[in-house]
Structure 1
């Protein structure tokens, strides 16, 4: 009897389906290596840039320029026709008479005070045939060598076309503090009848033509270097008209 340990053991059979090839499992020969160079290039989509409508912009600028040019031409034509019809002229102010009946210096406690009285007569002329002037809030400033000799207000008045109006002004100062040297120098000139005055009139004026009347605008009348002796001899100095900072003779 043989020894059971020496009897050979046969191998176990393979499980069913083990010997069949798996079609889903790729073999070494069926594998394929793909390089990036084999993919087709992606087409680039061109970027469309929006072009500005040059033609429409140029047309808009041209029509705008044409509109403003036509408007300017229209107002220039209207202004020329009005100027030819009205022939406007600035008002004229001249000093008809001037007198200083009082010029006194009072010294008190090492201070000098000035007392003056000034009489002025202006001739206001409007030489326009169709334009009138209306003056409001007239203020008068009288000085000599920058020393105040008086301030006064004048009542409002109106001037129609081709009108002459005499404006009377009485001004002066009372106990006005002044430098002692300046006061004495002006006093000597007054006694010698060599005093020189500067008169400034500031007013608000309106222009009217028929029933039409404009808004108020400022006007300044400058009457400079008025010599008492010359006015006493019959000379009538003309004042300069200042409009918007422009001085007209």
Structure 2
């Protein structure tokens, strides 16, 4: 009996997987973070809110400064505010004595000062806070000798008004340096004693009953001798306000 021919063995195609073999589980991919929708961005909202607030605040401050600048410009153009004018109207020394004793040299002096204050504004009134007027003597390049001070109560000054402040100061049995005492006595007798008057106050403006200010004011008058004062000339005073200097 003849043998039957054998069938050829079929080759397995590439990638063939035997269904009878158990499937090995592969490595799991790392868990992904949940994807939120684009509208859910809390951090961006906070940043946008902060930016909006900053922009609004910047614009508000800019507009406020602009309004203040315009208001100040209109106020200045309409009222044309000017500083008060100070003059040393008169100065007298009713009593001046230098006494040399065994324990030192003493000064006894009494002064009467009048400071003229003029309001040059035709549309504005002025008000002055409590003022302090101090008087000093100078006998050369040495330090000044203080001759007391007096406070002047606050007052109001009308438009184009002229006011005179009378101040009396003095010292009694004030101990001074021996050399300074001799210089003061000699210069007083020769009418070469130099007088200095300092006024410290605060000046503000009145606009329809509304107060604007005051600003700190320092006024220096004098720096001249008794001989010049006797001629009747009113010495110029230097007015200093907020580091701005005006010679009146």
TM-score, normalised by the number of residues in structure 2: 0.75
C-alpha distance in 2 between matches for 1:87 and 1:97 = 30
Alignment of 1:87-166 (within 5 A): 87-145=80-138, 146-166=144-164
CA RMSD after TM alignment: 2.8
In structure 2, relative to structure 1, the CA distance for the partners of 1:147 and 1:71 (3 Å cut) is: same
In the alignment of these two chains, the number of paired residues is 215
Q: What's 1:186 paired with?
A: 184
Q: Deviations over 1:184-242 (max 9, x none)?
A: 11211111111112211122444312322346554322225132222222322222223
Which shifted more, 54-63 or 74-83?
54-63
Q: What's 1:62 paired with?
A: 55
Pairwise CA distance, 1:93? 0.7
Q: Which runs of 5+ in 2 are unaligned?
A: 1-23, 36-40, 139-143
Please tell me whether Structure 1 or Structure 2 has the larger radius of gyration of its CA atoms. Answer: 1
Q: Which runs of 5+ in 1 are unaligned?
A: 1-36
Verify: 1:40 aligned to 2:27, yes or no: yes
Q: What's 2:220 paired with?
A: 222
Q: What's 1:16 paired with?
A: none
Q: Is the 8 A contact 2:124 2:206 kept in 1?
A: yes
In structure 2, relative to structure 1, the CA distance for the partners of 1:72 and 1:42 (3 Å cut) is: same
C-alpha distance in 1 between matches for 2:113 and 2:61 = 50
C-alpha distance in 1 between matches for 2:63 and 2:204 = 30
Residue 95 of structure 1 aligns to a residue whose secondary structure is: strand
Q: Is the 8 A contact 2:97 2:109 kept in 1?
A: yes
Q: Deviations over 1:39-80 (max 9, x none)?
A: 413324248897535555444433322221111111111111
Aligned pair partner of 1:52 in 38, 44, 51: 44
C-alpha distance in 2 between matches for 1:247 and 1:197 = 21
Q: What's 1:168 paired with?
A: 166
C-alpha distance in 2 between matches for 1:213 and 1:195 = 41
C-alpha distance in 2 between matches for 1:46 and 1:116 = 94
Pairwise CA distance, 1:140? 1.2
